[in-house]
Chain A
Amino acid sequence: MSELYTEYHPRWLRTRVSTYWWLQRRSYLTFIARELSSVFVAWFVVYLLRLIRAVAQGPLAYQQFLESSAQPAVLLLNLLTLFFVVFHATTWFNLAPQAIVARFRGQRLHGSLIAASNYAAWVVTSAIVAWLVLGA
């Protein structure tokens, strides 16, 4: 059977994937939400870079940045961003055990330990950042 014959076989029925395939299963929807969350992660990075630039430029620029951040639209966007960044991070950490194989004394570590170590690193990093921002 030639390749061409296989590809254009007239009698085989080929069904097209629906444009709304991602609504057919909850897991597909979660996947699409995870992919979309990247946009909010990108906005978060841009926002952070703008904050750093404002701090570097001096008190006036920083004050202007705080005022622009207090606008309701920006607040709403940042609240939405917080939700999606947390969603992105948790789905990432939950998937990490499937990608990483770690061993301790020759024994393969259970996936939950890999996820737990990711979460622990997240908590410690957040605590350090909180200490720097609030405590220093």
Chain B
Amino acid sequence: MADRIALQVARYRPEQDSEVTFQDYEVPCQKEWVVLDGLNYIKDHVDGTLSYRWSCRMGICGSCGMTVNGEPKLTCATFLTDYGAGPVRIEPLRNFPIIRDLVVEIGDFLRKLTRVKPWIVRQEEKPLADGEYLQTPQELDEYKQFSMCINCMLCYAACPIYGLDPKFIGPAAIALAQRYNLDSRDEGARERRAVLSEHEGIWGCTFVGECTKVCPKNVDPAGAIQRYKLSAAIETLQSFFLPWGGR
């Protein structure tokens, strides 16, 4: 194992650059170091002007997503030693506007996320005295996988549809909508359907499937979208053939 590893880091300083340039750094390559450790080493010891986002260092906060050697990755979960002698090329997440260096603008995603109401919607709350909303393990199992999403946006960076059509609501927002649609305590499926059934909703997805492959939490957004397409199609058929019921 080499003692040091070369990092090629994308730089974009809006006050002086009109495009991304790459800056070479060399950092220690320790067995337990992840790409984020390399970036922190640069920030602390080599070049304090480098900008990037990070917080928890353990794959929970979803802040440190970047493009590592062309692949969308959580840099806190990507080991330097997996890249041999290097160099490791670190770029901002694709498909998002770049604010500075490795920091991207995520407002578009956050606005879309809010539109699908990723919270439990109740038509009427039951009184506190009636206790909690109980769930069986099977009911929990229905949505648990989708609840693992950490909003890291790697799926948006991997999705060519989002890159080509930024109006597409995108993988994580749909997966999180499904997380609540499939929750037995939730009653907001009808409200979410208005957003999800738009042309830029589920029907914008052509099932490339990369979102699922890059997801660090095995959420399977592509599966969530296809499942929703299937249930939306069945509901439409039911409302056509059984207009008096069947929902």
Contacts and interface: CB of A to CB of B under 8 A. Distances in A.
A81 B209 CA distance: 24
Contacts of A95: 207, 209, 226
B238 interface: no
B44 interface: no
Interface in A84-121: 95, 98-101, 106, 108
Contacts of B227: 98-101
Contact of A13 (B12, B95, B160, B230): B12
Interface residues of B, number: 35
Given A21-B160, A31-B209, A12 B14 contact: yes
Interface in B172-225: 206-210, 212-213, 220, 222-223
B98 A15 contact: yes
Contacts of B208: 27-28, 31
Nearest to B14: A11
Nearest to B208: A31
5 contacts: A6-B105, A11-B15, A17-B163, A22-B160, A95-B209
Interface of A: 1, 6, 9, 11-15, 17, 21-22, 24-25, 27-28, 31, 35, 95, 98-101, 106, 108
